[in-house]
Chains A and B, each alone.
Chain A
Amino acid sequence: AQKITQTQPGMFVQEKEAVTLDCTYDTSDQSYGLFWYKQPSSGEMIFLIYQGSYDEQNATEGRYSLNFQKARKSANLVISASQLGDSAMYFCAMKGNTPLVFGKGTRLSVIA
């Protein structure tokens, strides 16, 4: 069975600083994808970044980067230059031979 673990229920970061949100995963699939989603209080899940299990380079999308360490089964999200609008729930998810499996999320609060 696939499992996603996010060990940080809540995180605080100062505006303009960088922050790392942790994610570890467990799967027996050889081919899988890892995702990060942002969920503001409005409820909509916003896709941020994707990493394939065979991708050799870490994914980057603007201020978001994914620190993928396959041997450690970790896929941490790094947000650079945090903005007040980054305050939200962040979910790590994976997809192998099953539909998307989500972690419990991390609530990020950006402080001015």
Chain B
Amino acid sequence: ETGVTQSPTHLIKTRGQQVTLRCSSQSGHNTVSWYQQALGQGPQFIFQYYREEENGRGNFPPRFSGLQFPNYSSELNVNALELDDSALYLCASSPTAPSYNEQFFGPGTRLTVL
């Protein structure tokens, strides 16, 4: 059983560009959540996808968008990058929504915006 994987590991972009981050959920998991973790902070919830539909969103602007595919993998897209978007982006999958104690995190993608 493979765990949650994310790509790329690191990414450097310039302000105004667009970026796509990818996440493959753990086998059998149909729910994916994305979090942003700024330096020195705890993760903040961006949004969640359940069976290809957005199922909850945190306090992030519309330029943060996502997709979930039939195989339950997911993408996070960020348009018009700003310097404050520099962070570790974490993806987590769980078998059902909501599930209290079965959310498994990937290793994250570290995004740097210059």
Question: Is A25 interfacial (CB-CB < 8 Å)?
Answer: no
Chain B residue nearest to A42 in the complex (CB): B107
| Residue ranges of A at the interface with B (Cβ–Cβ < 8 Å) | 4, 33, 35, 37, 42-47, 50, 52, 91, 93, 95, 98-105
- Distance between Cα atoms of A43 and B39 in the complex (Å): 11
Enumerate B83-114 residues with CB–CB distance to A below 8 Å. Answer: 88, 90, 92, 98, 100-101, 103-108, 110
Known: A43-B88, A43-B108, A95-B100. A100 touches B40 (CB 8 A): no
| 7 pairs, CB–CB < 8 Å, chain A vs chain B | A35-B101, A43-B110, A44-B108, A47-B104, A52-B100, A95-B98, A102-B42
Question: Is B28 interfacial (CB-CB < 8 Å)?
Answer: no
Q: Is the CB of B100 within 8 A of A45?
A: no
Q: How many residues of B contact A (CB 8 A)?
A: 24
The minimal Cβ–Cβ distance linking B8 to chain A, given in whole angstroms, is: 13
Binds A, one of B13-21, B43-51, B73-81: B43-51
Known: A45-B105, A93-B42. A99 touches B58 (CB 8 A): yes
Secondary structure call for the A interface: strand
Q: Is the CB of A103 within 8 A of B42?
A: yes
Q: Is the CB of B107 within 8 A of A43?
A: yes
Q: Is the CB of A100 within 8 A of B101?
A: no
Q: Is the CB of A104 within 8 A of B40?
A: yes
Chain A residue nearest to B100 in the complex (CB): A33
Question: Is B33 interfacial (CB-CB < 8 Å)?
Answer: yes
Instruction: Tell me which residues across on chain B come within 8 A of A47, comparing CB atoms.
Output: 101, 103-105
- Distance between Cα atoms of A46 and B43 in the complex (Å): 13
The minimal Cβ–Cβ distance linking A62 to chain B, given in whole angstroms, is: 15
